[in-house]
Every structure is written in structure tokens, then in C-alpha cells.
Structure 1
């Protein structure tokens, strides 16, 4: 709560499901209560509902998630409300791109705080007085001095600061094991008791920069594609409201990149236009999406995370249907 600046004057607006760990205690409701603040519960997450409550209840902080932020920033209704009481918007569950972090700060005139961690323990936050580079790009630093973090390679060897690898952690509030689950514990923990976060990161000192889940990297014939990098470039296109990049199966390369996009109202976008735009942004050709799927909205979890597994299932089903159609009807002997 101290790292988020919570105190007796804190008015926390709860938009996401109350039982989710991020909303509950990262620092969330428990942090606000411990600091002597109070909470307002929003019945819905649309901009009109949320920001009318900000205006009427003098809300100071909103724990948000990527789909909420994207929708708010693209909703003209936001300009109708007085948001001067708002001092902080947090984001958790999935990393918010630097561009959207900056737009959020400027549009709402408040500070931004990235919240990163796991229900099993470790909690990282950017600090309110961090420089712009950390606030706009990093996943923060552990909230507790006793949290131990290191980055390891695929063989479990610790790598130097600035090198990519998996984040592992050990500390006073990180679990030491799952109850009565030795097989799971053997996979989830290192021999010296560090919990495997499953996230690919770069660490510099105590700060980390999340690069996505281990399974979210797209392996195109041995070339690894960082989905965050491509999505951040896609978000700069004026036609796109929100984006997601997922792997689609390929018989030659193993995986190729498929871009899903939700368009802004009245906008259109072709695959060729997207490819041309990304090349103008300086993207390496092997990282280009090789298919574009426009959808009305993304499937999201109760905590506001885009369900990438569902998107992968959608494109896999489409590819299977296309293969079936191209094969044509079977002929008899």
C-alpha cells in the first residue's frame, strides 16, 4: 500500500472481479483498508459508468487491466467527466504497452503504475517517483526488500543483468510448495527453492522488464518472435483499437504469427496495409504477421486478460476448415 501511495484519503474504485488476487491484495482492497482508505464498487466497466463514479465519489485510484484501458482511451465519453481527483491508475494481469501507458497519463492527468506478479507470491510495482523510462516500459521492482529474484537460462544457470531468461523468485510471502503435489513442485521450483514464474524477462538491478510468458513466444522455424514488440507496433496504426498476436500452426516453420485486431469505429484495414505499415516502423521481415483476423471483440477472462488460448483455437479451427475445403470431396474408386 505504501508503494502505491495509499493513505486515509484513498478512494479506490473496484472495476474488476473482487476476488481476483490483483484486485484483492496487490495492493487492492486489503491495501486500501490497511491504509485507512475506502472503496467504491463499479457495477460495470464502461467509461461512462466508471468515470461518472470517479467524478461523483472523488476517486483517487483505479486498478485496471489492458482491455479496460484500451476501451476507455477510445471512448469519447471520457471527456465529459471531471477526473481531477484521480491521482493513479494501475494496470495488472497483462503488460500494458508503453504507448498506452503514456496516453493514459496524458489523457487522465494522473500517474501510472504497472503491477506485475503472481498469486503464488512475488509482487512488483513501478514506483510513483520512478523516471519515465521505468514507468513507461518496466514491470517494476519487488515491493519487499527480502524478495529474492534472479533470471535463469533454459539450463537453470543465472544470467547477467540485461540478458533474457526466466524469472525465478524466493521470499517471505512466496509459497514454498503446492500442498501434497510433489510432481508439480518438481517442475515449479528450482532445487534451491526458487519459484519459477514462467515469464521471460530482462532484469536490471531490482527492476524487471517482462517479455511475455514462455509459451507466448512464437517460434518461426527457430526464429523467436516477441509478441509484445509486434503488438506495440501494431497499436500505433490509427485503424486499430486493440490487438493480439498469437502463434498459428504451420507444416514448414512449425509456427507463424497471426494478428488479431479490433478496429476503431468506421475504420478498415487490410493485411497488405498492416504489413506495409509495420515495415515502415522498421520491423524485421520474419516478425511480420502472416495473417490478419479482424474480430468485433476479444475473448477476455474475468480478470480482464485477453484469452490467447481461445484466439489460437479460433485460428487453428479456421486453418483446419480451409485445408478441408481445399482438399475437396473424396472420389470413389
Structure 2
């Protein structure tokens, strides 16, 4: 089958599959018909039952007049209906816009304006919030014709065999399968088109790197519409090998540990802030039996070495450190990497066709081992955000490299080490400071559990540095931290100008530490 991306013939890409998710679901239901595919708090579905539910839902969507190319808002929590709805849309070629349950009118209104969806799939009520009312309010004056808040009943309404009676244009592997949302914490989320082919390739390569199999049991605690738990390898990677997915609507460690124990979960994916919570709970309550856990995959933001190292002793399993973009590129460590490699890097790219460069502020490549901005292109990395030509001009080079905005370096052995966002670099009186470097030093202090370094406006310095810490020693002083860092040999200008003791971290919708909110809160204190 013909097709090229950046001059690479798809036929030459090992493991590339010229298939859609509809094709894959049919394959899985034939290979593992009686195997349990997904479980939520209400029921479990085998692969065959999943196909039945998907096809019934697809019939309903077709009867409404929804067809290939239509954009559909999909805003559901972690539940079986989310998977069913997504695959029903994949089957008929409609394109789900993957909204998080935390998204509200301001963000969604902008997305509706940009994408002009024709339908909105959601729950009526979830966690005391009426999504149905919000959807109906957002529907006014838009192209949205249908609000579907009864996926559970729709998925049981028709015989799956009836789908063969419908004449509808099916998607092909190169068609857009979904619109993911960018992981940015500020502004309106950008829409990221991912094709059936490139996302299936991503699922497969990550499942292979993580050695997933039919025996794998994945616990989804992060919001399923997010790229990380959805496909890196997450839900889709687990299904691709005949494994079982547990859908949890709650991310709290006590519920997660009970589910791990009940279903013999073998792996889950967490962001660093959640991992810290899990480690803290298991440290003072080790009565949970989580011995089935083979590894925890951690990504989404910088993972401090001290926290990473505790995974092995407290959770009793391995750690997989991942750098994954909704825009495409994935690098991660493997289960055979040494502990030092895992806790200090994000491993190697998952595809031999990934191209990575590290550049300086002038766009020149830097020598291996030096930090700069990571730029990339490859067979599964996007070639442009959805309907955002001006942003695409800024984020892509003339050669088609995507500028990630992440500060990284390549080690001598080819591992990637990402330490934060380029824009998070603090300019203090002309000196450049990388927050993650200082955070790691401070976390070596015996009284410090966690640390976040941010920049605050300053009339003299331009920006002053503030170390925000979570500690059991509320008498800890700035002078003590200064002395500790000086004893470590930290350069004087890198030592934080201010110390703030925090009770907790504000979190984003995907449970990442919200540094912007920290700055806002500190400015209010001032």
C-alpha cells in the first residue's frame, strides 16, 4: 500500500499496520472472544461483548446521520462506555474530540468554535456535576445536533449483526482517528490529529517495549481521554495484546491499591505528583497486597531521582520512565535497563524512524550531552495542529521537525534526559536557572519530601527564585536551605532567594503539579 511521511515509505516501517481501530477490534474479538477486555465498577466485558456493544452504538450513530469526518465531543469519565463510544466512532470514521471530565464551558466553547462538532457524548451527571446541562448550554448557536447521554442503553439496543446491513464509508489507516488535546496547562488546549495508523503503531511499539502480553492487567486511574493512559501504551496498548483493562473513576491510592489487589493488576501509569501520594500511603500502610504489580510507568512531567528510587523499595516493582507527547514522539526506558538509567533518563525512542535533534536558541544542534530544545519528526509524530496555521508556523521547522519546547539532552549511550520546559527556565538577573536541577538538590535534604522551584517577578533581579517545599519540619528556614545547598557546592546564583512551606500542591486536570497556580497563590501572599 502506497504512502509516505517525510520521505519514508510506510512499507519500510517495521511493525506498521495498514489498519484501522475497527479492523483491530474485529481481530481481537476473534483472537480472544471469551477473554475479559475491560472492567469498570458496574460490569466486565469480554472482547466479543465489547465488539457487540461497539457495533450497536455504531448503528445508533449511523441512524442519527453521523458519518465519516464528523467531529464528535467525547467527554466521559473512566468507564466501559468511554471505550465503547470511542471505538464506535472509530468504526464509522467519525472523529472523537477527547475532552477530559475536568473541562468546563470556557475551554469547551473555544474547542466547539474551532472544530464545529455535530454531536456531544457525555454522562448526564458525574460526581455531582451535571454534564448534560452544560452540553445543552454549549449547544446553543452551534452545529451540535445531538447530545447523547445514554451510551450504556444505546450500546445494548441493536444486534451487532445489523451493522452489516448499513452502507457507510469506512475510514482507512491514514484517516484521522481522533483529536487529542495538548498537555499544556495554560491557554486553550490545541487539537492534535492522530491517524488510525500512527496511533496503532504507537500502541504496538510501546506494548512491545513494556513486554505486555495476554497476561497483562492495566489499571487506568488517570483520565482515559488523556494520551498517556489512553495509548502510551495504556488502554489501547493493553487491548492490542489481549490483556485486561481496569477502568477506575478515582485516582486515590487507597482505591487503586484495592483494585490492584482484587484484579492482580500488573501495571499502571501515573504522573509524578500521584506517584508521590501512592508512595506516601504505602509507606505508612503496607497492608495492601500489591505483589502482582510488575512495573509502574511514570511520565507527564519531570520525575525527581529521590522519588523514582523509592518505587523499587516501597512498591516492590520496577519503574518505567517515559517521555510521551500527545503530538507523537515517545521515548521510555525498558524493563531490562539498570536502575540508574531508569531513575535519571526517559530511555530511548520507541521507533528506529524517530529523528531527534537538540538545538540551541539559534536553532543550531548542540553536542551530545549538552542541553537544548528537543525537536523531532517521525512516522507517528503530527505534521500540524488542527486548524492552527499560525501556531504551526511557530512550532515546525522548514524541514518538518516539531519543536517540543522541552529542554533535554542525549546521553553518551543514547538515552534521552528531559528536565522541563524551555519556558520554565528562570532568567535571574541574566543568569539561566533550570528549576529541576535545583529541585533535585533540595530534595536531598533530610527534611524535604518534595520541592517545586518557580520564578517570581522582582524589581531588581527581574525574576527571583522561590523554593516551595513540602516538609514535616515547619521550622525549616531559608538560611538552613541556603547553607545546605552551599555545602553541596551549588553555584550562588542558583540558590533560591525565597523559601515557602506548602501543605499540598495544586494540580491540573491530569494531576500534574500546576506551577502557574503556585505562582498565582504566592503572588496573592505577597
1:183 offset after TM fit, Å? 1.5
1:140 offset after TM fit, Å? 1.7
Residues 448 and 469, structure 2, Cα contact 8 Å, conserved in 1: yes
1:131 offset after TM fit, Å? 2.3
**1:176 corresponds to which of 383, 395, 398:** 383
> How far apart, in 1, do the equivalents of 2:285 and 2:441 lie?
25
1:267 offset after TM fit, Å? 5.1
Partner of 1:129: 336
Residues 61 and 86, structure 1, Cα contact 8 Å, conserved in 2: yes
> How far apart, in 2, do the equivalents of 1:297 and 1:257 lie?
19
> How far apart, in 2, do the equivalents of 1:159 and 1:238 lie?
36
Partner of 2:224: 18
Per-residue deviation, residues 112-169 of structure 1 (Å, max 9, x unmatched): 0111121111111111111233211002211111111111111111122112111000
Per-residue deviation, residues 8-30 of structure 1 (Å, max 9, x unmatched): 11111111111111010111100
1:276 offset after TM fit, Å? 2.4
> How far apart, in 1, do the equivalents of 2:250 and 2:273 lie?
13
1:88 offset after TM fit, Å? 0.3
Per-residue deviation, residues 62-103 of structure 1 (Å, max 9, x unmatched): 101111111122224441112211110110111211121111
Secondary structure of 1:2 counterpart: helix
Partner of 2:303: 96
1:38 offset after TM fit, Å? 0.7
Stretches of structure 2 that go unaligned for 5 or more consecutive residues are 1-206
Residues 48 and 78, structure 1, Cα contact 8 Å, conserved in 2: no
Partner of 2:251: 45
**2:515 corresponds to which of 275, 288, 308:** 308
Secondary structure of 2:286 counterpart: helix
Secondary structure of 1:94 counterpart: coil
> How far apart, in 1, do the equivalents of 2:432 and 2:358 lie?
18
> How far apart, in 2, do the equivalents of 1:222 and 1:46 lie?
42
1:237 offset after TM fit, Å? 2.6
1:236 offset after TM fit, Å? 2.3
User: Does residue 229 in structure 1 map to residue 437 in structure 2?
Assistant: yes
TM-score (norm 2): 0.58
Stretches of structure 1 that go unaligned for 5 or more consecutive residues are 320-333
> How far apart, in 2, do the equivalents of 1:218 and 1:182 lie?
29
> How many residues are aligned here?
318
Partner of 1:324: none
Secondary structure of 1:247 counterpart: strand
1:224 offset after TM fit, Å? 1.3
Identify which range, 184-193 or 272-281, moves more after superposition.
272-281
Secondary structure of 1:255 counterpart: strand
Identify which range, 237-246 or 286-295, moves more after superposition.
237-246
**Taking structure 1 as reference, are residues 179 and 41 closer, same or farther at Cα in structure 2, changes over 3 Å only?**
closer
> How far apart, in 1, do the equivalents of 2:498 and 2:313 lie?
33
Secondary structure of 1:74 counterpart: helix
Residues 48 and 77, structure 1, Cα contact 8 Å, conserved in 2: no
Partner of 2:398: 191
Residues 16 and 302, structure 1, Cα contact 8 Å, conserved in 2: no
User: Does residue 60 in structure 1 map to residue 272 in structure 2?
Assistant: no
Partner of 1:27: 233
Aligned ranges 1:100-111 → 2 under 5 Å: 100-111=307-318
Q: RMSD across aligned C-alpha pairs, in angstroms? A: 1.7
Q: Which has the larger radius of gyration?
A: 2
